[in-house]
């Protein structure tokens, strides 16, 4: 008799092209994944995957089987979603991805309460500043801080995202306070660097115009938390979101530089791929986060975080 759970393991291997990656996604060891694929191949009497040390590829028979089993798995998910919606009790696993810093500060602290409220939901939180392929990696919901006009996703705004130029008082006392965007070229700017990053140029919206200025500095990193530590230590000026530095500003560790010139802020969204039915558990999770943040997010108002009752 066919074991549909083995089909799901096979489908993730086919999509991720890796036994170990599928194992991590499904919380199984690579050995267990391999054994379940072997069992499925024995039942079907054909080889489904060609394995190498680095990746797996579908055989011709594997491609045919994947097309059929992925459709059937989708139908099973549709049935489960429909029943879950009718019962009013969302259940099942949710895979969530988010930027590392935002996820640690403003998602992870709310999850124990979430699973207490919805004990039949299991949350798998993956934190990374790497921009993953949501569809390819089978993500249910991704939290993104970005301009979403170039994406084909269903998106729900979770919160606004004000940004500012900030520096430690010690840096400004030593190097002076810039008063215009052109002054930044004389200052040490702490830059977030990663493939595709545009932070060597800062766009600022002033009272009468928007301008883009080239900036540079002797410290850069692909980790936003590292930049923040350097900024607190007086190493330079950084462009930061208030969700990162709100407490630092309120307690005087940092102060806003050139408050009349603001970096444009992209909102914080929960995104979900088009073409998939949104299960109640995913909608419940997204609505929960939006409720926790509130109309004016606590990191900007200085109020205590909202916890859903």
Instruction: List, run by run, the mean pLDDT of 10-residue segments along the chain (309 residues).
Output: 78 84 79 89 90 82 88 73 63 88 94 93 86 67 78 79 95 95 94 68 90 92 91 96 94 96 89 69 91 90 69
C-beta separation of 113 from 308 below 8 A: yes
**Residue 307, token pair as written in the block:** 């916890």
d(CA 224, CA 100): 9
Structural domain containing residue 196: 163-257
Claim to verify: residue 95 and residue 45 sit in the same structural domain: no
d(CA 274, CA 189): 39
Q: Backbone phi, then psi, for 255, in 5-degree steps?
A: -140, 155
72: Cα within 13 Å, side-chain hemisphere: 15
d(CA 12, CA 1): 21
Task: Give the pLDDT of residue 87.
Answer: 56
Task: Give the pLDDT of residue 285.
Answer: 93
pTM above 0.85, yes or no: no
Task: Give the pLDDT of residue 143.
Answer: 92
**Residue 212, token pair as written in the block:** 């883009």
Task: Give the pLDDT of residue 179.
Answer: 92
Residue 174 lies in a domain: yes
d(CA 278, CA 92): 13
C-beta separation of 249 from 256 below 8 A: yes
**Residue 269, token pair as written in the block:** 């969204």
Could you say which DSSP state residue 294 is in? -
**Count: domains in the chain:** 3
Residue 308 lies in a domain: no
Alpha carbon 205 to chain centroid distance? 27
State which of 85, 105, 131 marks the end of a domain. 85
* CB neighbourhood size of 34 (10 A): 20
The CATH number linked to 252 is 3.40.190.290
Claim to verify: residue 94 and residue 78 sit in the same structural domain: no
d(CA 280, CA 94): 11
State which of 85, 100, 131 marks the end of a domain. 85
Task: Give the pLDDT of residue 307.
Answer: 62
d(CA 66, CA 49): 11
Claim to verify: residue 67 and residue 96 sit in the same structural domain: no
d(CA 52, CA 124): 28
d(CA 162, CA 241): 6
The CATH number linked to 68 is 1.10.10.10
Claim to verify: residue 193 and residue 203 sit in the same structural domain: yes
Task: Give the pLDDT of residue 133.
Answer: 63
């Amino acid at each position: 008799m066919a074991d549909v759970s083995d089909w799901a393991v096979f489908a993730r291997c086919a999509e991720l092209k890796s036994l170990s990656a599928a194992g991590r996604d499904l919380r199984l060891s690579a050995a267990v994944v391999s054994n379940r694929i072997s069992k499925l191949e024995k039942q079907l009497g054909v080889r489904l995957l060609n394995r190498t040390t680095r990746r797996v590829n579908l055989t011709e028979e594997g491609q045919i089987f994947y097309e059929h089993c992925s459709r059937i798995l989708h139908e099973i998910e549709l049935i489960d979603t429909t029943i879950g919606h009718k019962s009013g009790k969302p259940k099942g696993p949710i895979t969530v991805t988010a930027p590392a810093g935002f996820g640690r500060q403003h998602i992870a602290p709310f999850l124990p309460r979430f699973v207490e409220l919805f004990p039949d939901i299991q949350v798998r939180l993956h934190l990374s500043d790497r921009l993953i392929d949501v569809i390819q990696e089978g993500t249910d919901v991704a939290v993104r801080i970005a301009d979403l006009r170039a994406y084909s996703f269903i998106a729900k705004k979770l919160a606004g995202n004000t940004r500012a130029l900030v520096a430690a008082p010690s840096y400004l006392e030593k190097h002076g306070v810039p008063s215009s965007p052109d002054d930044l070229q004389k200052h040490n700017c702490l830059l977030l660097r990663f493939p595709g990053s545009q932070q060597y140029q800062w766009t600022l919206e002033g009272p009468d115009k928007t301008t883009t200025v080239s900036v540079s500095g002797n410290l850069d990193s692909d980790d936003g938390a590292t930049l923040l530590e350097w900024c607190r230590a007086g190493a330079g000026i950084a462009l930061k979101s208030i969700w990162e530095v709100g407490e630092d500003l309120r307690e005087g560790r940092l102060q806003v530089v050139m408050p009349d010139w603001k970096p444009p802020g992209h909102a914080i969204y929960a995104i979900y791929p088009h073409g998939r039915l949104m299960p109640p558990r995913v909608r419940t999770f997204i609505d929960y986060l939006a409720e926790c943040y509130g109309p004016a997010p606590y990191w900007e108002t200085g109020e205590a975080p909202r916890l859903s009752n």
